[in-house]
Structure 1
Amino acid sequence: MIVSPIDKVLVVFLILFTCFSGCISEDPEQDKLVILTYDVSALSGSMISNFENNTGLEVQIIKVDDAGSILSYLIQNKGTDTVDLAIGLDNTYISTAMQLDLLEPVEVDKSHISGYNSSMEMQALSPYDGNLAIPFDMGFICLNYDSSIVDGLNFSHPTSLWNLTEPEWKGKVAFPSPITSSPGRGFMLATLDYFDWRNGTDSFGNWWNAMRANDVIVTSGWSESYETHYTGGYGEYTEGYIGDAHITVSYCHSPGVESWYNGNWTKSSSLDIDKASFFQVEYASAIKGGNSQFAEKFIEYLISPEVNSQMPFENLMYSVIKGENLPEENGYRFNSVIPSNPANISYLDIGKNIETWLELWNEAMIKSE
């Protein structure tokens, strides 16, 4: 058969068109990265825009209330491609996510993250150093107190957790719930180590029950506890402030944050009681069923020195980069305590026992005197 030049052109055009159309995504979602997180301040508009401009990916963010809500969302959507990346699960939740097979491994360079051989007091890779969860920020959870009131005259300085069960502290302590709050969960875990859970949990339950009898204020999350009830922080300038608690659970560097915002002044301080603080690491994880390559790109960006070094400013947490610290400006570092003897509970122990411990806590909080 003889083919005319025009027919040849048409055939070539059709071949090229077919190939080209097959290479172009008909799915507009193909170049979209879906991130599940709570209200992580570090994920600012400019930070997201820079990533989008550098990679050509569009970022969609699904926001939930807290780390517990992230885990619940992942469980409810397991086996789907709803989420590519979760940011905000910490070492009190991450083992549960692993046990439920929710996470996908990633290959990223962690050599610049503080680890076992680091000289820093905080080692981001010490709770977990695998490839299912990559650290992006960290800090110690501990008790904060209002130093303008807890001054040794109006209120005595607690030197033991049992001090908080005494009459002077009746109704003056606010804790976020360990069921719904990651700082609350971290503090509950610290109390388990404080009361030596390996030799029994009776003292743990008795203390929490005594706190209940002493009218401890239990809130659903950190914000309500710190902003609404605590007298030592910025909450007095927020709507809905009550100010009925002089001690609460926050971070050991929260007084430093207060000082940084207030021009080197704060009335909030941290209590350094042995085994009453907990080292928290927050993670970024690729999710099974999602696009792990896109997730990996964002994780690499999130832990890059130029982005992660800004965590003390952007997310008010410690950077995980070796050699980084809190800034000295306005007393940020000076007013941030590093606990001398924090609690030590592994993520494996947490994963194995957390449901039992939460049940024990709940029983202690509802048990009558």
Structure 2
Amino acid sequence: MSITSKRFAAVVVGLGMVGLSACGSSDTDQASGGGSKTVTLVSHNSWAVSKDVLAAFEKESGYQVKVLEDGDAGQAVNKAILTKDNPQGDVFFGVDNTLLSRALDNGLFQSYEAKGSDLILPEYRVDQEKHRVTPVDTGDICVNYDKAYFSEHKLTPPESLDDLIEPQYKDLLVTENASTSSPGLGFLLGTAAKYGDEGWQDYWKKLKANGVKVVDGWEQAYNEEFSGSAGGRKAGADRPLVVSYASSPPAEVIYADPRPETAPTGVATGTCFRQVEYAGLLSNAKNPEGGKALLDFLLTKKFQDDMPLNMFVYPVREGAQVPEEFVKYGPQAKDPQTMDPAKIADNRDDWVKSWTSLVLK
């Protein structure tokens, strides 16, 4: 799940959660052609877009966008599956490569090839025969570290997954529950990609013995437990290592007042797992034409250029702009762990059950 401006603004600026404008006319409002003027986007709680960019789409398309946010990515996907026969909206955004097979196998989406799909970078394209989902963004789930802690303790920050089980890092790492959190699941899959179908369990036994702490979700891990975040520093957090995103350090800089010259946090680049997020036209959508227009919008250069500093993710469209802050403070990992969606589909549920039994009991 993306790291959004709403989360960091809430913690760093102290203004609370920033609501997204995006509610237009009611669903009963009719366009001249007899269809609804309102198109509804269902998402996890990390969706964000600049008001002027959204307003331009609404003006050009004639549709008004209503957004329904529904918790963490896993929670949102599960609810969307349960309500697929009478969906809450027209488009779902935020299913990632760790959960994609669950959505596709349950018939969550109908086919639609969005305009601009030919401009998506090839490494992010999936489901090319049926076009049930459209890639929208990508990012790296990585261990972040608190620079001040490691400097004060004259300790070299970890660089790899292997480092995390070394005794000098005992009781320093906090991660999210793999059964309830998208970054937690991504971190688990990263270890499976690194150590293999059997070896990842031995790795987690060592990580558990080395004092890893597990909490329910990213909000708690990053903003309450991690000593390097603005929220964690304020709360007196004592874990200088956290599973988060490669884009977390630039977010810490951008939302600090005044802005520091360097990011207070860093990324252990040898711990990263590549995450890709998708959107799709929901089966039984009440306004499929509006949903198609919205999917087209998500691939426009205007949206893809706007997205990084709103959701702290990287664009997937060729030629889209990457903010200078990302290049300086949160570049993508050069060699992240990845896994074929089919392998995730075949193993995810069993791995999560094994992980739960091994780590939480």
- Under TM normalisation by the shorter chain, which class is it? 0.7 to 0.9
Counterpart of 1:249 in structure 2 is: 243
Counterpart of 2:20 in structure 1 is: none
Structure 2 counterparts to residues 86-125 of structure 1, below 5 A: 86-111=92-117, 113-116=119-122, 123-125=123-125
CA distance in 2, matches of 1:353, 1:157: 32
CA distance in 1, matches of 2:132, 2:189: 23
CA distance in 2, matches of 1:248, 1:113: 34
**Structure 1 residues 113 and 221 mapped into 2: Cα distance closer, same or farther (>3 Å)?**
farther
Structure 2 counterparts to residues 109-188 of structure 1, below 5 A: 109-111=115-117, 113-116=119-122, 123-125=123-125, 129=128, 131-151=131-151, 153-188=153-188
Structure 2 counterparts to residues 1-369 of structure 1, below 5 A: 30-111=36-117, 113-116=119-122, 123-125=123-125, 129=128, 131-151=131-151, 153-197=153-197, 201=198, 203-236=199-232, 241-261=235-255, 262-273=259-270, 276-290=271-285, 291-328=287-324, 331-367=325-361
**Structure 1 residues 236 and 344 mapped into 2: Cα distance closer, same or farther (>3 Å)?**
closer
Deviation digits for residues 237-263 of structure 1 (CA, Å, limit 9, x no counterpart): 66xx34111111111232233234434
CA distance in 2, matches of 1:355, 1:225: 23
Deviation digits for residues 194-248 of structure 1 (CA, Å, limit 9, x no counterpart): 1122xxx1x311222332333322122112111111122222466xx34111111
Shift in Å at residue 139 of structure 1? 1.1
CA distance in 1, matches of 2:37, 2:321: 36
Residue 287 of structure 1 aligns to which amino acid in structure 2?
Answer: L
TM-score (norm 2): 0.82
CA distance in 2, matches of 1:72, 1:212: 29
Question: What SS does structure 2 have at the residue aligned with 1:339?
Answer: coil
Shift in Å at residue 296 of structure 1? 0.9
CA RMSD after TM alignment? 2.6
Shift in Å at residue 96 of structure 1? 0.8
CA distance in 1, matches of 2:148, 2:88: 48
Which segments of 5 or more consecutive residues in structure 2 lack a partner in the other structure?
1-29
Alignment: residue pair count: 327
CA distance in 2, matches of 1:54, 1:110: 17
Counterpart of 1:14 in structure 2 is: none
**Structure 1 residues 325 and 360 mapped into 2: Cα distance closer, same or farther (>3 Å)?**
farther
Aligned partners of 1:139 and 1:280 also within 8 Å: yes
Shift in Å at residue 59 of structure 1? 2.6
Question: What SS does structure 1 have at the residue aligned with 2:275?
Answer: strand
Question: What SS does structure 2 have at the residue aligned with 1:271?
Answer: strand
**Structure 1 residues 133 and 244 mapped into 2: Cα distance closer, same or farther (>3 Å)?**
same
Question: What SS does structure 2 have at the residue aligned with 1:65?
Answer: coil
CA distance in 2, matches of 1:293, 1:29: 8
Matched-pair identity in %:
26
Aligned partners of 1:310 and 1:319 also within 8 Å: no
Answer with 106-115 or 296-305: which moved more. 106-115
Residue 106 of structure 1 aligns to which amino acid in structure 2?
Answer: Y
Residue 334 of structure 1 aligns to which amino acid in structure 2?
Answer: K
Residue 268 of structure 2 aligns to which amino acid in structure 1?
Answer: L
Shift in Å at residue 301 of structure 1? 1.1
**Structure 1 residues 257 and 191 mapped into 2: Cα distance closer, same or farther (>3 Å)?**
same
Residue 341 of structure 1 aligns to which amino acid in structure 2?
Answer: D
CA distance in 2, matches of 1:69, 1:29: 30
Answer with 89-98 or 290-299: which moved more. 290-299
Residue 292 of structure 2 aligns to which amino acid in structure 1?
Answer: E
Question: What SS does structure 2 have at the residue aligned with 1:277?
Answer: strand
Question: What SS does structure 2 have at the residue aligned with 1:299?
Answer: helix
Question: What SS does structure 2 have at the residue aligned with 1:30?
Answer: coil
CA distance in 2, matches of 1:44, 1:148: 33
Question: What SS does structure 2 have at the residue aligned with 1:39?
Answer: coil
CA distance in 2, matches of 1:242, 1:216: 18
Residue 218 of structure 1 aligns to which amino acid in structure 2?
Answer: V
Question: What SS does structure 2 have at the residue aligned with 1:98?
Answer: helix
Aligned partners of 1:174 and 1:249 also within 8 Å: yes
**Structure 1 residues 324 and 60 mapped into 2: Cα distance closer, same or farther (>3 Å)?**
closer
Deviation digits for residues 108-166 of structure 1 (CA, Å, limit 9, x no counterpart): 123553423xxxxxx432x5556111111111111111122224953333244343234
Shift in Å at residue 308 of structure 1? 1.3
CA distance in 2, matches of 1:363, 1:271: 27
CA distance in 2, matches of 1:312, 1:43: 9
Question: What SS does structure 2 have at the residue aligned with 1:72?
Answer: helix
CA distance in 1, matches of 2:153, 2:138: 35
Residue 309 of structure 2 aligns to which amino acid in structure 1?
Answer: F
CA distance in 2, matches of 1:280, 1:99: 20
Question: What SS does structure 2 have at the residue aligned with 1:270?
Answer: strand
Question: What SS does structure 2 have at the residue aligned with 1:321?
Answer: coil
Which segments of 5 or more consecutive residues in structure 1 lack a partner in the other structure?
1-23, 117-122
Aligned partners of 1:174 and 1:229 also within 8 Å: yes
